[in-house]
C-alpha cells in the first residue's frame, strides 16, 4: 500500500478518486454486515411507500466509502482523526459514486503533522451528494 | 406555525444516557464489514499482513463501530422519544477517533440524544431533526471514538 507523506501534500493537493459501484446486492451485504435492516435499503415497495424513488444507499455506507477514501490516503503510517459528512442528496444502487478529496490546510500541532481535507461523494452527474471533511495526521518522509 | 410536535417527554429525554452496550470486536465481523463496503485494505482483512503494519494486527474500519448500535434496541433513543412521524433518514455523521480498535477489544458504547429540532415544510415536509452522540470506550477504559449523528424523521 502506498504511503502519503506530509512533505508530499499542500493546500490544493487532491487525493486519488475512489470509485464504487454499489448494486442492490451491495446494500443487502451492508445491511447484513452492519445490522441496519431498515427496509428502504432493500425493499422497493417499502421505499416507495416512504416517499422515496426506490431503494437508496445507506447513509452509513456512503460514510464508509469516505472512510475508505481516507484510510487509503493516510496509508498504514498515517492516522484518521476526524471524519464528517452530510447526506444532502440520495444515491441509488446501479450507478457509480466517486469519493474525492482535496487538502485545505496543513500544519504542525505538537508532535503531529496535521492535514485538513474537504471530501465528498459525487454521483455520475458530477453532483456532490455527500459533502464532508476529514482531519488526518501524516508521517514525515523517512 | 402549527403546534410543536416536541413534547415535554421528548425534551426530558435530551441528555439521558442509554444503557451501555458491550460488544466484542471479532475478526470475522470486521472482515464481513470490509467485504460489504468493498475495502481490500489488508489491515481490515488479513491478520498476517496486518501484523507487519504499525497496527500489529487487524483493526476495524473507521465506520465499523456504527454496527454496535444495531446489536440491541436499547441504543435507539428514538424508541423512547416516540417521534410522531414514521419514516427516518440519516442526515449526517461526525466521527472523532482517538485510538485504533483492534480485534479482540471489548467496546462499550453509550448514546444520548443531544438535540431536537423541528422544521415545517422542509424537503420531506414537516420534519423532526434529532442529533445523537455516542461514546465508545475500550476494555482499558480509554475512549476510542466519538460519533455525532443527525437523523430526520418525517411523515411520508
Please list every residue in chain B whose beta carbon sits closer than 8 Å to the beta carbon of residue A51.
87, 124, 154, 156
pLDDT value at residue A93: 97
pLDDT of B147 above 80? yes
What ipTM was reported for this prediction?
0.96
Q: B48 in a domain, yes or no?
A: yes
Chunked into runs of 10 residues, chain A (142 residues) has average pLDDT values of 94 97 97 92 94 93 98 98 96 97 98 98 97 98 94
Selection from A87, A101, A17 nearest residue A58 by Cα: A87
Handedness of CA B89, A95, A18, A102 (dihedral sign): negative
Q: Which of A96, A95, A92 is nearest to A56 (CA)?
A: A92
pLDDT at position B72, please? Answer: 54
pLDDT recorded at residue B30: 97
Substitution target in A83, A131, A135 with the highest count of B β-carbons within 10 Å is A83
Tally of domains in chain B: 2
CA dihedral (A67, A56, A97, A31) positive or negative:
positive
- Closest CB to B63 among A37, A64, A76: A64
pLDDT tens digits along B94-129: 999 999 999 999 999 999 999 999 988 877 788 999
Residue B78 confidence (pLDDT): 46
Residues B74 and B81: their CA atoms lie apart, in Å, by 12
Which SS3 state, helix, strand or coil, does residue B130 take?
Answer: strand
Asked which of B59, B83, B101 is the last residue of a domain, the reply is: B59
Please give the average per-residue pLDDT across B58-79, as a whole number.
Answer: 73
Residues B149 and B110 occupy one common structural domain: yes
**Residue B87 reports pLDDT greater than 90:** no
Domains of chain A: 6-22+57-137 (3.10.129.10)
In a domain, B137, yes or no: yes
Q: Give chain B positions within 8 Å (CB) of A71.
A: 39, 41, 43, 61-62
Cβ of residue A24 closer than 8 Å to a chain B Cβ: no
* Partners of residue B29 in chain A, C-beta under 8 Å: 33
B154 or A63: which carries more pLDDT confidence?
A63
Checking if the pLDDT of B4 tops 90, the result is no
pLDDT tens string B11-29: 888 999 888 989 999 999 9
What is the model's pLDDT at position B71?
Answer: 61
End-to-end CA distance of chain B: 20
The answer to whether A35 contacts B37, with C-beta atoms less than 8 Å apart, is: no
Q: B106 and B143: one domain?
A: yes
DSSP E strands: which ranges in chain B? 21-24, 87-97, 106-122, 125-137, 143-154
Q: What is the pTM of this model?
A: 0.93
The Cα-based distances of B82 to A89, B6, B72, B116 in angstroms read 26, 10, 17, 12
Amino acid at each position: 500500500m502506498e504511503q502519503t507523506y506530509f512533505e508530499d501534500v499542500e493546500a490544493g493537493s487532491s487525493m486519488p478518486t475512489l470509485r464504487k459501484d454499489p448494486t442492490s446486492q451491495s446494500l443487502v451485504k451492508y445491511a447484513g454486515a452492519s445490522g441496519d435492516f431498515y427496509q428502504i435499503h432493500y425493499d422497493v415497495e417499502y421505499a416507495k411507500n416512504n416517499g422515496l424513488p426506490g431503494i437508496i444507499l445507506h447513509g452509513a455506507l456512503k460514510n464508509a466509502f469516505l472512510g475508505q477514501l481516507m484510510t487509503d490516503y493516510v496509508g498504514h503510517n498515517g492516522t484518521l482523526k476526524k471524519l464528517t459528512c452530510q447526506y444532502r442528496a440520495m444515491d441509488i444502487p446501479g450507478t457509480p459514486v466517486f469519493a474525492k478529496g482535496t487538502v485545505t490546510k496543513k500544519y504542525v500541532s505538537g508532535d503531529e503533522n496535521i492535514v485538513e481535507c474537504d471530501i465528498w461523494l459525487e454521483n455520475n452527474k458530477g453532483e456532490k451528494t455527500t459533502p464532508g471533511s476529514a482531519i488526518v495526521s501524516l508521517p514525515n518522509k523517512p | 406555525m402549527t403546534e410543536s410536535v416536541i413534547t415535554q417527554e421528548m425534551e426530558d429525554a435530551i441528555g439521558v444516557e442509554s444503557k451501555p452496550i458491550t460488544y466484542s470486536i471479532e475478526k470475522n465481523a470486521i472482515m464481513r464489514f470490509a467485504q460489504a463496503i468493498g475495502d481490500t485494505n489488508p489491515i481490515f482483512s488479513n491478520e498476517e499482513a496486518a501484523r507487519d503494519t504499525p497496527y500489529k494486527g487487524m483493526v476495524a474500519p473507521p465506520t465499523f463501530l456504527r454496527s454496535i448500535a444495531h446489536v440491541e434496541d436499547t441504543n435507539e433513543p428514538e424508541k423512547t422519544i416516540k417521534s410522531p412521524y414514521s419514516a427516518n433518514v440519516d442526515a449526517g455523521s461526525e466521527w472523532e477517533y482517538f485510538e485504533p480498535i483492534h480485534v479482540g477489544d471489548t467496546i462499550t458504547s453509550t448514546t444520548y440524544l443531544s438535540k431536537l429540532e423541528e422544521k415545517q415544510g422542509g424537503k420531506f415536509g414537516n420534519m423532526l431533526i434529532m442529533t445523537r452522540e455516542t461514546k465508545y470506550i475500550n476494555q482499558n477504559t480509554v475512549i476510542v471514538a466519538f460519533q455525532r449523528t443527525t437523523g430526520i424523521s418525517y411523515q411520508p
